[in-house]
Amino acid sequence: MSNKRREFLKKTAVSAVGAHIIPAWSWSKQVAPSDQINVGLIGCRNRGWGVLRNQLKNEGVRCLGLCDVDQNILNERNVQVHQESNQKPKLYLDFRKMLEDKDIDAVIIGTPDHWHCLQTVYACQAGKDVYVEKPLANTIEECNIMVEAVRRYNRVVQVGQQQRSSAVWTEAMRFIKSGKLGTLRKVNIWANFNYGIGSPKQPDAAVPQGVDFDFWLGPAPLRSFNPARFHGSWRHFWDYGGGLMTDWGVHLIDMALWAKDVTHAPTTVMAYGENLSFEDYARETYDTMSVIYPMEDYVITWQHAAGLQNGPYNMLYGVEFVGDKATLVANREKWMVNPEDKSKSIDKEKSQPESKHKEVLNDTDLHMQNFLECIKSREEPNCTIENGRNVSLYAHMGNLAVRSGEGKLVW
């Protein structure tokens, strides 16, 4: 082993321990070809890249293809894949070409929301399994088309709502479903976040070199290039995303559905949404929103105030499950129970009011492992296409109730 490589391994081990992750790079072990999973990544800049890196930590995963419409990002990620895992994927500007590679078993879709539907459907048609990022799609109709395609082509599809694989949320759900909170009547959700206001306004500009902007727009309406509605900040414009309402809504509203195992579309949605602040920032999605979802025997509420980095319980985002006997408050790191009667113990777990998980595997690690296991077993993954569709409908309906001008929609 060369000194350079030894140095690299040492550095990787140190940074991985710092991030509570133990690396198990695929190239470090011999894996039988039958146990190998060959993957391709579509959309390499931010989340897609994180998800791929995560997959490559698992034994037997090989990256055969990288695809992006931005040549600069493609080149950068190619170098990184080589450096970090000693693999040499083929590079593609057109995902359809990548899907023609018969050796690729599964693809990760890490593109903006307006691309998820077409790419998932094409991938299913090509016989690939799919890890598709959330929200499932940018419209309700696209979500429904995706469910149909996954079932028709019989593919394993994991939706990137990693909280469905999380140890913290699984434990919180077990507690809620045990009945120890009493009757669960309300689930209050909030998500603030600085990034929800978009990026500073800028004039339209020339398309950056190396970017196929037509292919970035894809199914969205044609328009001139503007840096404030491109990489990362596209999520604040209706043609490509739904703002905080869908970006975080699908993660957190899903917890409210999971608590009562709700598997149906929303029936009634009441919503207020407005842009009230940060006028120098470019966005169409609302910086301020309150939404009410009346359910059969409980009510879900959603609140966001984009541009703020704090919220109730000193938490930037969170979910409050309000029961007759106690309220459980959770985020991705911890959950805690506040009993109504402070003198009465709810059960043993009350002696540990906070459950903290700092173990080796984070939510995305677990979600990815579950996906890889399901590719082999052909079982349903933790976040099915139906889970992804249902919660997307709740999130989109919040936005649609406001955009319709009615403030209320009945399904």
Q: Which DSSP letter does residue 140 get?
A: H
CA distance 256 to 45: 31
Closer of 73 and 270 to ligand NAD (Cβ): 73
| Sheet with strand 354-356: strands edge to edge | 354-356, 334-339, 326-330, 317-323, 184-191, 299-305, 288-294, 268-274, 408-410
CA distance 79 to 88: 9
Instruction: Verify binding: residue 254, ligand NAD, rule CB under 6 A.
Output: no
Q: Which of 56, 63, 67, 184 binds ligand NAD (CB under 6 A)?
A: 67
| Interactions with ligand NAD, residue window 145-184 (CB under 6 A) | 160, 162
**Contact track, ligand NAD, 78-117, x by CB under 6 A:** -----------------x--------------xxxx-x--
Closer of 45 and 155 to ligand NAD (Cβ): 45
CA distance 369 to 375: 10
Closest separation in Å from C-beta 126 to ligand NAD? 15
Instruction: Verify binding: residue 142, ligand NAD, rule CB under 6 A.
Output: no
Closest separation in Å from C-beta 395 to ligand NAD? 11
Closest separation in Å from C-beta 353 to ligand NAD? 27
Q: Which of 177, 231, 332, 350 binds ligand NAD (CB under 6 A)?
A: 231
Please identify which residue in the block is written with the tokens 């009346």.
Answer: 294
Closest separation in Å from C-beta 73 to ligand NAD? 5
Closest separation in Å from C-beta 170 to ligand NAD? 17
Stretch that binds ligand NAD, among 97-105, 229-237, 276-284, 312-320 (CB under 6 A): 229-237
Name the pairing type of β-strands 354-356 and 334-339.
Answer: antiparallel
Name the pairing type of β-strands 326-330 and 317-323.
Answer: antiparallel
Q: Which two tokens stand for residue 7?
A: 């140095």
Instruction: Verify binding: residue 192, ligand NAD, rule CB under 6 A.
Output: no
Helix (H) or strand (E) holding 230: none
| Interactions with ligand NAD, residue window 328-387 (CB under 6 A) | none
Instruction: Verify binding: residue 253, ligand NAD, rule CB under 6 A.
Output: no
Q: Which of 65, 70, 339, 372 binds ligand NAD (CB under 6 A)?
A: 70
CA distance 230 to 237: 10
Q: Are 311 and 329 in contact (CB under 8 A)?
A: no
Select from 197, 193, 224 the least CA-distant residue to 283: 197
In single-letter form, the type of residue at position 387 comes to N
Residues forming the site for ligand NAD (CB under 6 A) = 42-48, 67-70, 73, 95, 110-113, 115, 133-134, 160, 162, 215-216, 218, 231-232, 234, 247
